[in-house]
A and B are shown apart, each in its own frame.
Chain A
Amino acid sequence: MKKYIIKRILYIIPVFFVISVVVFLLIHLTPGDPARIILGDRATEAKVLELRETMGLNKPIVVQYVDWICGFFKGDWGQSVFMKGTMQEILLEHIKPTVSLSIYALLLALIFSIPLGTIAAKHRGSMADHAISVFSMFGISIPSFLMGLLLVLLMAVKLNILPSSGYKPIESGLLLHIKYLTLPAISLGLMEAGLITRMTRSALLEVLNADYIKMAKAKGVHPFVLTFKHAFRNALLPIITVIGYSFIDLLSGAVVVESIFNIPGVGQLIINSIVRRDYQVIQAIVLVIAIMNVVINLLVDLIYGIADPRVRLDK
């Protein structure tokens, strides 16, 4: 077991390396001179050259990369051109609403999709199954921002129950915080709900058809126990994997949804940074989220290793 964990963790290193290269290239291949962009069109050539020197832009690109990476490990994540404070502070402030929103959306999605997927699998071929399949089909076909717009149209304009814009941090009270996040969470969560429902259904179906379920039935196991002890225990593995990926999906979906509901999260940050050409912020965001992704995948793999004895005892 230990070997598996260590192996998995070591594996991250090359991936991290590739991510860092990709992100670095992303910014440094941008057409246009960053120094010029910062100083504006009116600045003199001399000033631009001076800034380039200060920013280290004249060094060979590999050196720039090494500098950047080392800086990253030392805690220097770059500087925003427009916002005050360290990059860490900026990111932290903006990531809180996004994470809150994503967790809320994920919980909403799970509450509906796992039971629905289970029902669909157990009653395969019935009306309920077809209805659930249609519902999940619709879910994955309506992108979150469209859902957001439709919800705003419906709720705020016609029905006026939930706020269609704005954000209240947790410090202002949990209920208020949730209230403002509800419409965005539903928009985000619907697509994920569709995906998880389908995944749950197919994972469970595959397991329910397995020989060991037939065998358990032949032992006289109660149908309830069959589903929850035997089937679910095996189906849970792919489902957990999907949930892990879902979280990152939600984070990136949040990027768009935030702009509709005016939530000051990472989404808004990245859009504004693009408009203002605040490249170092974009770079930092992409890097951080990519790392989060890798860490979450690692966690999912580790949970898989704990849950499925075949994995951990291999080799």
Chain B
Amino acid sequence: MDIKKFLHNKMAVIGGIITIIMVLSAIFAPMLTSYGPLDMVISDRLKAPSAAHIFGTDTFGRDLFSRVLYGARVSIGVGFSVSILTMILGMTVGLYASYYKWLDNLLMRVCEGLKAIPATLLAIALMAMLGASTKNVIISLVIVSIPDIARISRSSALLTKEQTYIEAMYALGAKPNRIIWKNIMPNVISPVIVQTTYIFASAIIVEAALSFLGVGVPAPEPSWGNILSEGKTVIYNSWWMIVFPGIYMALTVLGLNMFGDGVRDLMDPTSH
């Protein structure tokens, strides 16, 4: 893990910085704004950006800057939870599938079946089934993302298994769980981490899409998606409702993608 080399990669570093700024602004939201995201002041509705409200206000007079920041908490929080859960569960599936042949057939068929349904569509269908709530969004997105990580873990694990040192461990009588987690997993984790950063980014996008369509995070809790959805109805007169949350979201995703590329270049320099 060559940190120095990573720092040479300008895009990756910029990406990392942007991501950190976004995450921090979400975490420290209460300190960055005195307005609450749910505080309605109807007389102030749909005001353009000003000194009092740097991002303007929305249809209910809520301060947009505050809503964007608190929305960041939700969107980034969802993205983060989805990535971690997917990484753990997906890797487990992939690792065990690579180890036990019968499990392999079963799990991989299921994954292929899931993958056949486009992610956004599957997420929408799952949300329709489960009902709109932040928790359900996380569940849906995890279900949608697991097949990808499982597949990567599995192929990485299969390659590692071919190595003779695994055969040696087997011959020494090591228990399967030990072989899987202590020996195979460390080799698998690099490509998995790379893919997880991309899943983080795509989870943010899909959550926003779901909330935009009304089947994601339910109002009045802010998420970039439902802020944009509100913005759509007043788009002709209130550009700030689209532009600011849009920029915020795009920057976060951009940061994550750039960072992800950097991590990928670090772990596998031949891919560039």
With beta carbons under 8 angstroms apart, the residue of A142, A150, A251, A290 that contacts B116 is A290
Q: Report the bound CA distance from A166 to B11 in whole Å.
A: 40
- Helix, strand, loop or mixed for chain A's interface? helix
With beta carbons under 8 angstroms apart, the residue of B125, B232, B235, B254 that contacts A26 is B125
Q: Does the CB pair B254–A138 fall under 8 Å?
A: yes
Instruction: Find chain A residues with CB under 8 A from B84 CB.
Output: none
Instruction: Find chain B residues with CB under 8 A from A306 CB.
Output: none
Q: Report the bound CA distance from A253 to B121 in whole Å.
A: 9
Query: In A145-166, which residues have CB < 8 Å from any B CB?
Result: 145-146, 149-150, 152-153, 157
CB of B266 closer than 8 Å to a CB of A: no
CB of B239 closer than 8 Å to a CB of A: yes
Instruction: Find chain A residues with CB under 8 A from B208 CB.
Output: 143, 145-146
CB of A70 closer than 8 Å to a CB of B: no
CB of B119 closer than 8 Å to a CB of A: yes
Minimum CB–CB distance from B145 to chain A (whole Å) comes to 14
Interface size on A, as a range, is 35 or more
Q: Report the bound CA distance from A27 to B213 in whole Å.
A: 20
CB of B257 closer than 8 Å to a CB of A: yes
Q: Report the bound CA distance from A279 to B129 in whole Å.
A: 9
Q: Report the bound CA distance from A157 to B240 in whole Å.
A: 13
A22-B128 contact given A202-B272, A255-B121, A256-B209, CB 8 Å threshold: no
CB of A51 closer than 8 Å to a CB of B: no
Instruction: Find chain B residues with CB under 8 A from A253 CB.
Output: 120
CB of B231 closer than 8 Å to a CB of A: yes
CB of A83 closer than 8 Å to a CB of B: no
CB of B135 closer than 8 Å to a CB of A: no
Q: Does the CB pair B209–A143 fall under 8 Å?
A: yes
Q: Does the CB pair A146–B121 fall under 8 Å?
A: no
CB of A252 closer than 8 Å to a CB of B: yes
Sorted nearest first, the 6 A-B pairs with minimum C-beta distance are A18-B113, A252-B118, A141-B254, A252-B120, A141-B253, A274-B128
